[in-house]
Amino acid sequence: MGEVLALVEARLRTALGEPDARAAVTFLGTDRIEVLRFVDAEAGLVRYATLGMSAAPMADPTAALADPVKGPRAELVLTVRLGRADTDKVLRPLAVLAATPQVEGVIVAPGASLDLGGPLWPGAGFSSVLVAGSGGLVEDLELDEPMDPVRFLPLLPMTPNEAAWKRVHGAQALEERWLAKGTDLRDPLRGSVSLD
């Protein structure tokens, strides 16, 4: 477990630079989840990445016994514009999302919605996120066979209206709507995209 997380942290540092802050959260009955913060002042962005979700593979909730080696592994990455909102309070909610596979026995994959039941950070207009595909900002991390690679999944904050629309029309339709309308998904103060 520790070896995998050391490799994951090294991959995050290679892709995003040195973290300037980190917080650890442990929930009853789960392994410790850390959230690292990376500030890219030049681009005006702050990125938050989980560390700990990939320590064990995500198990199929219908399987009688969880495989301790094989199965999908992932970490979550959230990118927002720097200084527009108090987004540092997102650390605990991100850890909650990263603990979802352990707590609820679900597999977090692209196209999935993760709901917090409350704002991502104080005053945020988002209480859920859409999980996007990996391979962009942080490359997948190959592990020794028979382990699956670790995928770094971007999180796209959704307003309640967007989340409801996505449930009806699907993730791809929502992503196409955002693209067509030129939505700045990194803006922590943005409103809902037009869904007419």
List of residues 6+ apart from 178 with CB closer than 8 A: 156, 185, 193
Cis peptide upstream of residue 119 (ω within 30 degrees of 0): no
Rounded to 10 degrees, the C-alpha dihedral 47/191/129/111 comes to -110
Reduced to 3 states (helix: H, G, I; strand: E, B; else coil), residue 174 is: helix
Reduced to 3 states (helix: H, G, I; strand: E, B; else coil), residue 2 is: helix
The chain-wide mean pLDDT, for the chain, equals: 92
pLDDT computed for residue 26 by the predictor: 84
pTM score of the predicted model? 0.94
pLDDT computed for residue 1 by the predictor: 59
pLDDT computed for residue 59 by the predictor: 83
pLDDT band at 162 (very low <50, low <70, confident <90, very high): very high
Average pLDDT over residues 153-171: 96
Helices 160-169 & 171-180 angle (0-180, nearest 10):
120
List of residues 6+ apart from 8 with CB closer than 8 A: 51, 54, 75, 141, 150
List of residues 6+ apart from 5 with CB closer than 8 A: 51, 52, 54, 55
pLDDT computed for residue 34 by the predictor: 95
